Amino acid sequence: MIRRRPPRGPGRHRDGLPRAAVHRRLWDGPARAEAERLDHAWPRWAVLYGTGSRLFYAVAAWPAPEPLILHDRTPEGLEERMRAAENAHATGPLPAAPERQRRIVPAPHEPVPFQPVPEPVPFRSVPVPREPVEP
């Protein structure tokens, strides 16, 4: 028989023991704050921090002949690379930075059209001739 457990709140818990609250960690908080600062200071770039790779990334938000993604271990190094990339790619004035949405908008839900599943083909076994095995 399947028994339903009562809903539990967040935290560590086991059957028969009281819940213990778990401290939520903010991984690499100062580095993420620095990436946010760079993102606001450089409007033509989207700046991110990878908590797994521990690298700062910059993605060009202006039209470029090919996608332009830079990375560095330090924010200062990333800023130098961003300056160099803008100087290398700027043959004239750079276009104005596009307005970026700062909020997450859910994607519209479109129903998937129904497609019937085809009938499976019956399996037919075919006899395979076997050669005699010598001892």
pLDDT band at 10 (very low <50, low <70, confident <90, very high): low
70 and 38 Cβ atoms separated by less than 8 Å: no
Chain centroid, CA 7 distance in Å: 30
State mean pLDDT over 87-107.
61
How far is the CA of 117 from the CAs of 62, 114, 120, in angstroms?
45, 9, 9
Instruction: Specify the amino acid at residue 113.
Output: P
Q: Which residue has the tokens 């819940």?
A: 19
Per-residue pLDDT, averaged over 107-112, amounts to 62
Contacts 24+ apart (CB under 8 A), 42-48: 42/79, 42/82, 43/97, 44/86, 44/94, 44/97, 45/82, 46/100, 47/78
pLDDT at 9 over 60: no
pLDDT of residue 55: 94
pLDDT tens digit string along 11-40? 566 677 777 777 777 788 899 999 999 999
